[in-house]
């Protein structure tokens, strides 16, 4: 009979059940994270970033609230359909994805975050309320967010111990596909669709050479990734717009100089 795999003195995998062998639990987190299973309310802590995102101001918002506040551009605590559209445009997505995001996000999460129990009539414009965003936590996810919107480092590290099997420092498209399948709960179509949408958007947003880095995945949980990407998009647009103007000005200067000569 095969010997069970043992980690830190505890049996964490059984050869007869291949899923436990393929999807390893993380180990050695105590040295940097202490109690890695303890949910963090305001920071997205990982083994490499135990204090969360460097330079990010600690606020009284949960990590899940930080995750969505990029789309609350005016800071009023309400995300309207146009806010979602504008936010996805700032990230560089085309009109098709931006419009699709409105339907997926607001149909899926507007009702659960509203105060009234009356659907649509209580929220006819499908607004999402940031202070109740924890009610929008869905099934078939990695459980990195707990039901109150806190960040669980151990669950985050499980993403990579289970699906980054060759230690690339990130996830490929096939890794993400296996992750979505591995986290899928029975009879949970909304959770399946949400997971596909969220991971699909993340892959399109920041995959480099077919790989989404661990740091990009971590920083999207606390929302800091979205601000970085939006700033890059803004700079790219600025360069694209300024080059023709610069070329035109130089051409006119050259012509004027030629006339003088």
Q: Where are the domains of the chain?
A: 5-260
166/158 Cα distance (integer angstroms): 14
Mean pLDDT rounded to a whole number for the chain:
91
pLDDT at 132: 98
Residue 52 has pLDDT above 80, yes or no: yes
131/180 Cα distance (integer angstroms): 27
Q: pLDDT-derived band of residue 224, with 50, 70 and 90 as boundaries?
A: very high
Please tell me whether residue 208 adopts helix, strand or coil conformation.
strand
Q: What mean pLDDT do residues 230-243 have?
A: 81
Q: What mean pLDDT do residues 53-67 have?
A: 95
pLDDT at 1: 52
Q: What is the tens place of the pLDDT at every residue in 172-220?
A: 999 999 999 999 999 999 999 999 999 999 999 999 999 999 999 999 9
Cα angle 152-201-212, degrees, rounded to a multiple of 5: 65
This prediction's pTM:
0.89
Please tell me whether residue 151 adopts helix, strand or coil conformation.
strand
Sequence-separated (6 or more) residues with CB below 8 Å from residue 33: 45, 46, 47, 50, 153, 154
Distances (CA, A) of 67 to 42, 61, 143, 219, 226: 11, 10, 15, 9, 9
180/174 Cα distance (integer angstroms): 10
């Amino acid at each position: 009979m095969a010997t069970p795999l043992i980690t830190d003195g505890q049996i964490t995998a059984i050869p007869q059940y291949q899923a436990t062998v393929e999807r390893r639990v993380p180990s050695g987190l105590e040295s940097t994270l202490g109690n890695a299973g303890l949910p963090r309310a305001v920071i997205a802590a990982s083994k490499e970033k135990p204090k969360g995102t460097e330079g990010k101001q600690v606020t009284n918002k949960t990590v899940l609230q930080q995750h969505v506040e990029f789309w609350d551009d005016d800071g009023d605590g309400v995300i309207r359909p146009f806010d979602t559209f504008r936010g996805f445009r700032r990230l560089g997505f085309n009109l098709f994805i931006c419009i699709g995001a409105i339907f997926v996000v607001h149909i899926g999460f507007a009702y659960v975050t509203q105060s009234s129990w009356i659907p649509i009539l209580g929220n006819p414009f499908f607004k999402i309320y940031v202070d109740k965003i924890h009610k929008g936590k869905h099934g078939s996810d990695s459980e990195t967010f707990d039901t109150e919107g806190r960040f669980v480092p151990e669950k985050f590290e499980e993403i990579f111990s289970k699906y980054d099997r060759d230690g690339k420092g990130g996830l490929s498209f096939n890794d993400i596909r296996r992750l979505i399948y591995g986290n899928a709960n029975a009879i949970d179509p909304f959770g399946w669709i949400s997971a596909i949408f969220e991971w699909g958007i993340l892959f399109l947003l920041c995959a480099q050479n077919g790989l989404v880095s661990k740091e990009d995945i971590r920083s999207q949980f606390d929302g800091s990734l979205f601000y970085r990407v939006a700033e890059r998009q803004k700079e790219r647009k600025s360069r694209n717009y300024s080059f023709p103007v610069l070329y035109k000005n130089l051409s006119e200067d050259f012509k004027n100089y030629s006339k003088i000569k």
